[in-house]
């Protein structure tokens, strides 16, 4: 699918005009997401597989932000992308949090968690073993110890 189709896929009902999709509205919203998320694409008709991994992630993130999103669950949002794209995703996550969107971030990368989160819950064997409210003072060692059940 192309960039536009991917961005609007989960909210097609909001683009409905009778029995059809309002392509103009779909294009306007897609262009807004491409601009606000700084997605590098030649145009909206570019197939998503032809984008870099970071830009593919931003398109998928854009899909989640069409409509009135209040809570966003991000599971490994930077897995498999280069460091430059990671920084862009981090900037977007921080901007969304400043806009009041609640973000639940799931990541196996501790520096990512400690750098982005205001509160960290650590799990061991499917149960929460610890909660840290001050991410500026906790260390990776503390989190790893709780994750290991120590």
Per-residue pLDDT reduced to its tens digit, 12-52? 777 777 888 878 888 998 999 999 899 999 999 999 999 98
pLDDT digits (tens, 9 = 90+) for 90-116: 999 999 999 999 999 998 888 888 888
User: 0.75 exceeded by the pTM?
Assistant: yes
Domains and CATH numbers, the chain: 3-117 (3.40.50.300), 118-150 (no CATH)
**CB contact set of 122 (below 8 Å; sequence gap of 6+):** 128, 129, 130, 131, 132, 143, 146, 147
């Amino acid at each position: 699918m192309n960039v536009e189709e991917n961005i609007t896929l989960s909210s097609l009902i909001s683009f409905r005009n009778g029995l059809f999709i309002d392509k103009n509205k779909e294009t306007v919203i897609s262009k807004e997401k491409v601009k606000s998320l700084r997605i590098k694409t030649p145009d909206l008709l570019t197939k998503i597989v032809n984008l870099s991994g970071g830009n593919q992630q931003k398109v998928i993130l854009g899909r989640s932000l069409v409509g009135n999103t209040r809570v966003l669950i991000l599971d490994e949002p930077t897995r498999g992308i280069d460091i430059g794209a990671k920084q862009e995703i981090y900037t977007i996550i921080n901007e969304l949090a400043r806009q009041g969107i609640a973000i639940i971030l799931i990541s196996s990368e501790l520096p990512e968690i400690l750098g982005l989160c205001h509160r960290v819950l650590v799990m061991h064997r499917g149960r929460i073993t610890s909660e840290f409210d001050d991410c500026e003072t906790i260390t990776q060692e503390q989190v790893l110890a709780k994750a290991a059940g120590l």
